[in-house]
Structure 1
Amino acid sequence: MTAEIELRGARVRYGPLEALHGVHLPLPAGTVTVLLGRNGSGRTTALRALAGTVPLSSGQVLRHGYDITRTPAHDRARHGLCSVPDLRAVHPTLTVAENLELAARGGDFAPALTLYPALLPLLPRRAGTLSGGEQRMVALSRAALSDARVVLVDEPSLGMSPPVAAATYTMLLSLAARSAAVVIAEQGLPPGLDGRTPVVVPVVVHQLRRGSVVFSGEPAELTAG
């Protein structure tokens, strides 16, 4: 399966500490890839390396086989990469409506309100005044409204109720069904992506521990033990 985007031999350092130790991650289109691990495992750093918000100390980021290691984050975004980090994922001084307008092509953000009806009464509020779960809905709307070919999301359901989280994962699966490479970082396999129920697209798991990949395979293989 051809990778839409890929880390190859990626190493990332934060000062004297190395957070990724030569990680290789091929991330194919039409697939939901789960980067699984505890805090400090390297999963968030891997997403940041793909997005271009942290530099590699060695190794490569490849897009369709071309080296984009030195391509700035804003250029990666212009070429179809949507990144939703776990923190500071909204424009806090703008209203919810303004945040959604920025995310939507042509300013039509109606699909976001279909996905997250709870945002409707919040449209005039400044995004920085919302709760964590409400901000998460605004941030995830960026992925829902985009036509990105690569979607990177760190802990999609952070602060969300179970029904809203379920709607979010359904949305991410639908993006992969439209041939996007969807990559999510999680501490544990979320319901619906754990191999116990059928899904419309392939789901691949890479488990990270202390900056290295220790398992790669299907969710059912990981949960079987």
Structure 2
Amino acid sequence: MSAEIELRHARVRYGPLEALHGVSLAVPYPGVSVLLGRNGSGRTTVLRALAGTVPLSAGAVVWRGRDVTRLAVHDRARRGLAFVPDRQAVFGSLTVAENLGLAASDSQSHGDFTAALEAYPQLRPLLTRRAGTLSGGEQRMLALSRALLAHARVVLVDEPTQGMSPAVAARTYELIASLDAAVLIAEQRLPPGLRPATGDARPVIVHELRRGSLVFSGEASEAHRRARTSRPTE
């Protein structure tokens, strides 16, 4: 595995407050990486920095060896980056079918969103509903379906299973693990059901943030051992 996209010594400021303190981390292709951290740790800011929705005050975003720090959000999307934020990830005034149709028409799917309905059959009876009227879990399914249709090279997802039932969450982690992409998901805790797809020897990589600084990077197995042996902090 090689690094697909990475932050190098990234700093992000919100007014007088610095949210990231020189964070460096790489997301390999293909594979799944998990960014752990409590609320306020900076995990959402890392995703936004990679996606280009917040500017860096120092450091760089490097994609396949090229500095893309100043590349606009829409240009990163055209290049193959899909970002699913934790809020406002769908077009609420459009129907489910219209949301999926937009994603499919802008991708290799050529307007066909059958794959999204196969991934989440729960969306089929909701096709005529406006996305803004869906439950939180249903909106997450729709947002992730849009990312699946994009056939993106880089997929960034903030709390992918928020509001989902355990069964749908398990299915979601299976879908994430099967993507042919560099995937980075932000979570508060390491998902117990997130494992590489069957027959896939790639490890799940874990990064942990605390108060805007990276405190751990390694394989999920090591992160599990660390969690069991470390005492609660903060």
Relative to the length of structure 2, the TM-score reads 0.91
Q: Give 1:202 deviation, angstroms.
A: 2.1
SS at match of 1:106: coil
Aligned residues of 1:193 and 1:219 also touching (Cα < 8 A): no
Q: Give 1:198 deviation, angstroms.
A: 7.3
In 1, distance between residues paired with 2:20 and 2:65?
21
Root-mean-square deviation over aligned CA pairs:
1.5
Matched, 1:119 2:123: yes
Q: Deviation string for 1:62-116 (max 9, x for gaps)?
A: 0111110000111000000000000000001100000001111321111111111
In 1, distance between residues paired with 2:144 and 2:198?
23
Which residue number in structure 2 is paired with residue 164 of structure 1?
168
Q: Deviation string for 1:116-141 (max 9, x for gaps)?
A: 11111110011011111111110000
Aligned residues of 2:177 and 2:195 also touching (Cα < 8 A): no
Matched, 1:223 2:224: yes
In 2, distance between residues paired with 1:114 and 1:9?
40
Structure 1 stretches lacking a partner, 5+ long? none
Q: Give 1:192 deviation, angstroms.
A: 2.2
Q: Give 1:2 deviation, angstroms.
A: 2.4
Aligned partner letter, 2:182: A
SS at match of 2:152: coil
Aligned residues of 1:61 and 1:68 also touching (Cα < 8 A): yes
Matched, 1:173 2:177: yes
Matched, 1:152 2:153: no
Aligned partner letter, 2:162: L
Change (3 A) 1:59 1:142: same
Aligned partner letter, 2:174: T
SS at match of 2:160: coil
In 1, distance between residues paired with 2:53 and 2:158?
13
Aligned partner letter, 2:100: L
Identical aligned residues as a percent: 69
Q: Give 1:199 deviation, angstroms.
A: 7.3
In 1, distance between residues paired with 2:185 and 2:143?
14
1:83-102 mapped onto 2 (5 Å cutoff): 83-102=83-102
Q: Give 1:194 deviation, angstroms.
A: 7.0
Which residue number in structure 1 is paired with residue 206 of structure 2?
205
Which residue number in structure 1 is paired with residue 111 of structure 2?
107
SS at match of 1:147: coil
Aligned residues of 2:12 and 2:57 also touching (Cα < 8 A): yes
Which residue number in structure 1 is paired with residue 16 of structure 2?
16
Which residue number in structure 2 is paired with residue 82 of structure 1?
82
In 1, distance between residues paired with 2:211 and 2:90?
29
Which residue number in structure 1 is paired with residue 46 of structure 2?
46
Aligned residues of 2:177 and 2:194 also touching (Cα < 8 A): no
Which residue number in structure 2 is paired with residue 128 of structure 1?
132
In 1, distance between residues paired with 2:199 and 2:217?
19
Which residue number in structure 1 is paired with residue 188 of structure 2?
187
In 1, distance between residues paired with 2:215 and 2:167?
32
Aligned residues of 1:31 and 1:203 also touching (Cα < 8 A): yes
Q: Deviation string for 1:153-172 (max 9, x for gaps)?
A: 00000000011111111111
Which shows bigger deviation, 107-116 or 49-58? 107-116
In 1, distance between residues paired with 2:199 and 2:18?
36
Q: Give 1:222 deviation, angstroms.
A: 1.5
Aligned residues of 1:5 and 1:26 also touching (Cα < 8 A): yes
